[in-house]
Structure 1
């Protein structure tokens, strides 16, 4: 009903409620206690209007759903539900604001006229908190009642406030308010220190902060206790007489919200306002920006009237015991003459007359209700609040969170969309649209996910400055499941960033993808959880010539035993259609060509590796960088004329301390072109590749054998780099393919404790059939003939239903005889048990009596102790024998009746009809 109630009008919802046959009688009737409370409230209102005719009317007895007047305090129904969030102040307030949809008291157009006093009228009818919670929609009073009921149930000292507020607050218009939330701060994988603490760790607040040492000359920090804070508030309020009326000449729209005062949970030390439509906590010092005045506040126990409504809200005293500020409605404690004299300096003559008349009226009401005993003095009147239904929330309703699972809020700087878990096909839970940092006229979109099997937790889409309507961009972002397909679309975003949680797997191995950054036409970056990978790769950057051509690949490593920290592969521009297709396939994935046996290869024209310093080796012999260049013939085929005529292998060593020079060796490689091979074969002299050796001054050059070994080592390193390049390229394409598949078909992750979604899906008819089958089997197990029928030979297709079996004459006779014989045996056995107990009791009595007679003379000498004990035993034994005798006689009388009843039941049992009602044919 809640989902349909959100979209229907209030009148339609009330009509549907009144048509319900389950309305309790308390909704349209009042008890004697209810009438007494209403009478007291009416007397208070009469006196209030008499002494303060210029004040607004009090909100005391509105009508409920059935147009029955109820005391407003009885609408508050303190409730404690078994959900952790409802026991926290911020969590409870935010849940009510999210779960219910706000409905203004009046039509929004009425608030535009600042002289229309319609917005000052109190509602004549409000619904109970249970009904509002079931509808998931309500006005400010109804949402405040629901919130106060939950807060009081969680042991907070909460009150519903009746007053006036600004137009934006009354309409819950946040379009002129800055979004105070913030997106999660992402930690880059290339940072030296990573945050290993789990998110939402409950033990983090228990870790003590690092103490700061203070000098003896430093002043002590100021500490304000709760008593001091109340005193300061009273001191500030003392200046309120000098403050002009804040109402002005315009009207003040009526509104309701919640105030939470100290005195409940220890975690709250200062009073705070709560706006139910947004869940925002507003301190008293900042309340004037939201609320203009307070008329009264109430909870389930009392109703307090603000006697100085002209003062600003921030100057009001939070102490309800302050008689100069608040007047209680249901307090039976009459002020004494001393108290009136003490207040004479602060109360006006009108106020003193009102208090005196109110005390007399309350005393008369007490006498008329018969509660004038001494025990009732000094306590408040009982306010019945059990007329309304209990506030209930099932686990499914609690997790649905928002009306229809979705809620959108528009701020001046952002549009925030919140979704219930598992309500969307891509399992998004939050979407934030904010102005772009580079192009302020465009908006960037940030989407947060949860419970996804691919571990995706956030996607950020940054718009392209290409001319395109914002509506079209936003709709494409919402409709596209894959960010990669969104980037391929014409006029797509300029940048897409995706963040993943730990534990992402690929082919039973840890893939470790942490962050995926794609800038179409510029670069593509993959960052990894390098501690989870065997090779220590933490970043892979692919630079592009254009959107379809790969230029360079950079790989960064950490924590490797070979001290490798950088590797890069440079590719030339494609010169043929085949090469262009290979580039396009590598960048965009196989797409629909998922039947490829192996991915295409791209040979780099340049390979570079860089290594960290090894302190155990001399810097002149410690390799810092290796570079491999392809021969010129291969470079020409790639269209790159900057490559030398022969392939080269370079090895650079580390710098010495304080040196600006470092040694390096260059080994040329013979070209692999066919023309040069034929020329060398014709001359019969192989071309010896040249070698360039640059050594530091004073250092001997390496020998020919060392250079030969070094050349072989470099050739092996080059082959290993090419093999590693192919492995990493295949892994990159696998990741792109997996991301595409995961986005197109999102799989959820369900907790083992999620009983709502782990339940197998079945229709209502199937579930009803299973319940009926279980009930039938349970009834069959309780069948009185089941033990006897089970002894018979049953057919192979017997389903265990003993109630529907049909027996032959011989089988029926066997079942009947066994049932009657077993009952007869039980009755006889029970009679024998009673008789044995009777005989045992008589035997014990005779033994005690003979023992008493033998010791009769000694008992006379000792006194009457044994005589009194024997008399008490005789009394108890006689009573036990009498009870046993009566039970035995009763058993004998009823035994024949039970036997006859079973015989009659067997004769009427349809399963034995073959014995009692044989077929005449």
Structure 2
């Protein structure tokens, strides 16, 4: 598709038409029809907004004319495709090109140096405003500064803020306008397994492996074909996955989505080559999770853009995004709006050339004079500097509290110091899909005086497990107890810093067992049995000692 850079409106501006015509044209570009319906509830009125928010510069006016001309040609050549998101309205009712809404921002906080930290912050800090209707592009796109104030955003504003942070962290990131499944567009994770539950299972396996004695005799080598074992394992995994899928469909089956393939969604594309990124991948800004570029949740792409250019996808999306090529410089695959504009790769090459030229002793001045002028470049972003405070990083969630529902699980997150007991995370696991029968409740704490870090309550077996960090009184690290109507069973683990070298104690209603390590009197096991009587009680104690050698005789036990 050939794009003409000059439209009728642009020619009038360049020829210097009458002042009234220019003012009318500027009003049409800045105040489109229907903007009066977009009433915003912002803290600052439009009069206090920066001038770049309320007025378009000459370069922006020309860019809007180029985009308008591109949109008309695109609609004429491809009438079956939906219009592109090129010039939505900002919070002041002014048309702005989407690439200029991106503002690369660097931060001083280590949490935002990686893509994982940026994605986690955006997903936690903002609340979703679903698109209405879900199959149409939004008419407005607010700046990231306004979004950070209200903490509410559409998926396009989610992606804009995340892409701005990634560009500031030197990632080759792009906003993607396309189509996705219903659950991703509506931030519905009720059919997905909670990731914290998966990590718990993995951590339990790893702890069990670590407890194995490394000095045990290795078994004889099993002379079997590894290929046959792998094939059998793949077959078993496929059968287990099929059975699990059938169970999920039977238990949580939902009606088919009539808008499948039509629901508009916006996410972030990160290309390889920067920050040691080896493969291209997607980031869903609503959840902060990464996906492969051939994931089934993404059903098609219309366009991508960064702060330098805008590219229209010319590839077939019948198979979703599985077969797509992300070489944005290939004009057969991607159609740019600004032909010849500087790309990220060209900027890197220009920097390398400048470094090489400084190392050279002489530079030909004639070659500098013969350089051809560059084509129209993307103007500077109209968005003010994106400021993220330390308080925003700590109190990420709107109101300091966020609830996420998963399949048979509910995850609650609290800002530090919000709860008086220091609760920051609560994970509740349920037995049924309706989330009515509680199985376990796992809570995590911070900044407690009693050094409690984690508490797990098992509602089925009626026992509670607590983990403490070092520094608690009596050097307690682990405490598990079973509450019953009459008696209580306890199990405790202690730090080795105790004066009596007690490391573990098990208490039952009628007996108590203690285990020691490193005592001078060689006591390592004590078992006491209690018999109940009406007027008095008898205690029977059993002691076990380590038999010393002649060089280390037994010392009297002063404790008993």
TM-score, normalising length from structure 2?
0.73
The 3-state SS of whatever aligns with 1:257 is: strand
Q: Are residues 1:172 and 2:181 paired?
A: no
Q: How far off its partner does 1:41 sit?
A: 0.8
Q: Distance in 2 between matches of 1:44 and 1:456?
A: 61
Q: Distance in 2 between matches of 1:69 and 1:50?
A: 22
Q: Deviations over 1:647-688 (max 9, x none)?
A: xxxxxxxxxxxxxxxxxxxxxxxxxxxxxxxxxxxxxxxxxx
Q: Which residue of structure 2 lines up, in the alignment, with residue 258 of structure 1?
A: 268
Q: Are residues 1:572 and 2:537 paired?
A: no
Q: Are residues 1:150 and 2:165 paired?
A: yes
Contact residue 538 and residue 556 of structure 1 kept, 8 A:
yes
Q: Are residues 1:384 and 2:380 paired?
A: yes
Q: Which residue of structure 2 lines up, in the alignment, with residue 890 of structure 1?
A: none
CA 1:459–1:58: 2 relative to 1, 3 Å: same
Q: Which residue of structure 2 lines up, in the alignment, with residue 542 of structure 1?
A: 507
The 3-state SS of whatever aligns with 2:134 is: helix
Q: Are residues 1:455 and 2:451 paired?
A: yes
Q: Distance in 2 between matches of 1:537 and 1:15?
A: 62
Which of 138, 146, 153 does residue 123 from structure 1 map onto? 138
CA 1:574–1:420: 2 relative to 1, 3 Å: farther
Q: Deviations over 1:144-201 (max 9, x none)?
A: 0000000000000100000011110110000011112324948999x9799xxxxxxx
Q: Which residue of structure 1 lines up, in the alignment, with residue 17 of structure 2?
A: none
Q: Which residue of structure 2 lines up, in the alignment, with residue 678 of structure 1?
A: none
Q: Distance in 2 between matches of 1:272 and 1:188?
A: 32
Which of 114, 130, 151 does residue 136 from structure 1 map onto? 151
The 3-state SS of whatever aligns with 1:315 is: coil
Q: Deviations over 1:108-140 (max 9, x none)?
A: xxxxxxxxxx42211111211111112111110
CA 1:309–1:188: 2 relative to 1, 3 Å: closer
Contact residue 295 and residue 309 of structure 1 kept, 8 A:
no
Q: Deviations over 1:767-792 (max 9, x none)?
A: xxxxxxxxxxxxxxxxxxxxxxxxxx
CA 1:66–1:427: 2 relative to 1, 3 Å: same
Q: How far off its partner does 1:402 sit?
A: 1.5
Q: Which residue of structure 2 lines up, in the alignment, with residue 560 of structure 1?
A: 519
Which of 516, 521, 540 does residue 606 from structure 1 map onto? 540
Q: How far off its partner does 1:98 sit?
A: 0.8
Q: How far off its partner does 1:284 sit?
A: 1.5
CA 1:249–1:503: 2 relative to 1, 3 Å: closer
Q: Distance in 2 between matches of 1:617 and 1:440?
A: 65
The 3-state SS of whatever aligns with 1:264 is: coil
The 3-state SS of whatever aligns with 2:372 is: helix
Contact residue 178 and residue 411 of structure 1 kept, 8 A:
yes
Q: Distance in 2 between matches of 1:89 and 1:395?
A: 18
Q: How far off its partner does 1:40 sit?
A: 0.7
Task: Please show how residues 235-254 of structure 1 align to structure 2 within 5 Å.
Answer: 252-254=262-264
Which of 150, 159, 162 does residue 177 from structure 2 map onto? 162
Q: Which residue of structure 2 lines up, in the alignment, with residue 315 of structure 1?
A: 323
Count of residue pairs brought into register by the alignment: 443
Question: Where do 5+ consecutive residues of structure 1 fail to align?
Answer: 1-10, 107-117, 195-246, 335-372, 466-493, 506-510, 545-550, 580-602, 624-712, 722-921
Q: How far off its partner does 1:615 sit?
A: 4.4
The 3-state SS of whatever aligns with 2:41 is: helix
Q: Which residue of structure 2 lines up, in the alignment, with residue 515 of structure 1?
A: 478
Q: Are residues 1:269 and 2:264 paired?
A: no
Higher strand share: 2
Which segment is superposed worse, 426-435 or 62-71? 426-435
Higher helix share: 1
Q: Deviations over 1:798-830 (max 9, x none)?
A: xxxxxxxxxxxxxxxxxxxxxxxxxxxxxxxxx
Q: Are residues 1:278 and 2:287 paired?
A: yes
Q: Distance in 1 between matches of 2:324 and 2:316?
A: 9
Q: Distance in 2 between matches of 1:156 and 1:86?
A: 12
CA 1:415–1:250: 2 relative to 1, 3 Å: closer
The 3-state SS of whatever aligns with 2:303 is: strand
Q: Which residue of structure 2 lines up, in the alignment, with residue 298 of structure 1?
A: 305
Which of 59, 62, 73 does residue 33 from structure 1 map onto? 59
Question: Where do 5+ consecutive residues of structure 2 fail to align?
Answer: 1-36, 214-256, 343-369
CA 1:574–1:162: 2 relative to 1, 3 Å: farther
The two structures, once aligned, show a CA RMSD in angstroms of 3.1
Q: How far off its partner does 1:569 sit?
A: 1.8
CA 1:459–1:100: 2 relative to 1, 3 Å: same
Task: Please show how residues 439-450 of structure 1 align to structure 2 within 5 Å.
Answer: 441-450=437-446
TM-score, normalising length from structure 1?
0.45
Rg (Cα) greater in structure? 1
Q: Deviations over 1:217-261 (max 9, x none)?
A: xxxxxxxxxxxxxxxxxxxxxxxxxxxxxx999551011000111
Which of 36, 46, 51 does residue 72 from structure 2 map onto? 46
Q: How far off its partner does 1:457 sit?
A: 0.6
Q: How far off its partner does 1:279 sit?
A: 0.1
Q: Deviations over 1:481-522 (max 9, x none)?
A: xxxxxxxxxxxxx101100011224xxxxx210001110135
Q: Deviations over 1:593-621 (max 9, x none)?
A: xxxxxxxxxx6420111123434489xxx
Q: Deviations over 1:691-748 (max 9, x none)?
A: xxxxxxxxxxxxxxxxxxxxxx9xx97x943xxxxxxxxxxxxxxxxxxxxxxxxxxx
Q: Distance in 2 between matches of 1:283 and 1:154?
A: 21
Q: Are residues 1:102 and 2:128 paired?
A: yes
CA 1:441–1:273: 2 relative to 1, 3 Å: same
Q: Distance in 2 between matches of 1:178 and 1:48?
A: 42
Q: Which residue of structure 1 lines up, in the alignment, with residue 216 of structure 2?
A: none
The 3-state SS of whatever aligns with 2:167 is: helix
CA 1:131–1:418: 2 relative to 1, 3 Å: same
Contact residue 300 and residue 383 of structure 1 kept, 8 A:
no
Q: Distance in 2 between matches of 1:448 and 1:138?
A: 29
Structure with the bigger RCO (C-alpha within 8 Å, sep 6+) is 2
Contact residue 34 and residue 384 of structure 1 kept, 8 A:
no
Q: Which residue of structure 1 lines up, in the alignment, with residue 392 of structure 2?
A: 397
Contact residue 408 and residue 431 of structure 2 kept, 8 A:
no
Q: Distance in 1 between matches of 2:128 and 2:452?
A: 33
Q: Distance in 1 between matches of 2:546 and 2:436?
A: 43
Q: How far off its partner does 1:46 sit?
A: 1.2
Q: Which residue of structure 1 lines up, in the alignment, with residue 465 of structure 2?
A: 497
Contact residue 436 and residue 462 of structure 1 kept, 8 A:
no
